[in-house]
Structure 1
């Protein structure tokens, strides 16, 4: 007979597992709060004690989920065994995993055609795979969140550093490119020649322009000959590259 109950006490499950439903009332009249009570009062049914202890051990080890007065049973909450309750679904899964050869009638339908049904083992395997996949997804989601947080921190640091550099007069990459474009264009107009080959400036070469700058602004910071030559050369290269691109 298939039970339609949604939950069981461990003793109830052991009684049904042993096929002693007809003796349930007799068994439950005994004080079963002590582990050895079943074996003491019903030595003629040794498996009743064995099966009950199997269920209790599974609950204590965390292998079989159970509750006590509605609260989950944990390592710190394992008293009042007479009030423990197991959900039918959890009990069925526990049987399938640990006692695949056992098919108690109170849990498993007997003599039914399952040709078009997915086996319980297959379902449990699929359920385990889905759980593993979900754990992987959760782990990846946590890693993504951590990377996003790191990126946000780096972006904030970069913005702060750019602001500090600009405040100190150190150009950013964008302003550096703009400066090179301006200086390169100025040099092209100042010391270059027109398309028809005419001189465009009183300065015949870049060297003459540098000499004039040094003559007019002697001793100013960042206006040494080596600095000006280097900056002019870099600006002309950049300007030429942009013009070719």
Structure 2
């Protein structure tokens, strides 16, 4: 009969493994802290001692996880093995891996059809892939968090540099003032005269230049006549202010 318990002490699991549930009360009256007590008191059931030792060795070798009051037991733990507990699921997996010929009734349904069940190997392979994917996801999340923090730091630094440039009277390259300065310098160079008083451009005036732009870029958003005239006027006004000092 399958047990519905979620965990077992070593002696409990061994009793069930040996199918000695009818003698459980008698067995548990023995002082199990004494080495060899099971073999001494119950020589008629040698497998009981052997099964307890088998489970204990599996725990020591790291094949079977064990706990005490919900905390994992390690090689450094100083807890008597009488108090060790093993989870039902861990015990079942251990049997499948280490004792595939053993199918104790307290863990396995006898004569059950497992033809459509997923094999343990396939389950463990899927579990390994899932654990790897979760680990990779955690790494990516950490990388994303670090990148986000770095971007925020760079943005803060950029704002400080902009403020510093403005305090020194140097406009940032992306500022409206810089755009107007560039446009104004271009207009002065394009429409102005050289040192000999000669016209430097094929365009006789700003109006002619605007007309040429409209003909070359018809119906382009942001290049309407009113927009160009306004931006050119702002740019030339800025250049004039710079010249005056």
> TM-score over 0.5 for the alignment?
yes
1:112 and 2:112 correspond: yes
Partner of residue 191, structure 2: 189
CA-to-aligned-CA distance 1:83-135 (integer Å, 9 cap, x gap): 33222122212322333333222111111122233234433332232222212
Q: How does 1:46-195 map to 2 (within 5 A)?
A: 46-60=46-60, 63-68=63-68, 70-75=69-74, 77-175=77-175, 176-191=178-193, 192=199
1:48 to partner: Cα distance: 2.6
Unaligned runs of 5+ in 1: 199-245
How far apart are the structure 2 equivalents of 1:149 and 1:61?
A: 44
Unaligned runs of 5+ in 2: 194-198, 206-245
1:31 to partner: Cα distance: 0.7
Is the contact between residue 7 and residue 86 of structure 1 (CA under 8 Å) also seen in structure 2?
Answer: yes
Q: How many residues align?
A: 198
Moved more, 136-145 or 119-128: 119-128
Partner of residue 8, structure 1: 8
RMSD over aligned Cα, in angstroms? 2.9
Cα distance 1:121–1:193, how it changes in 2: closer, same or farther (>3 A)?
closer
TM-score by length of 2: 0.67
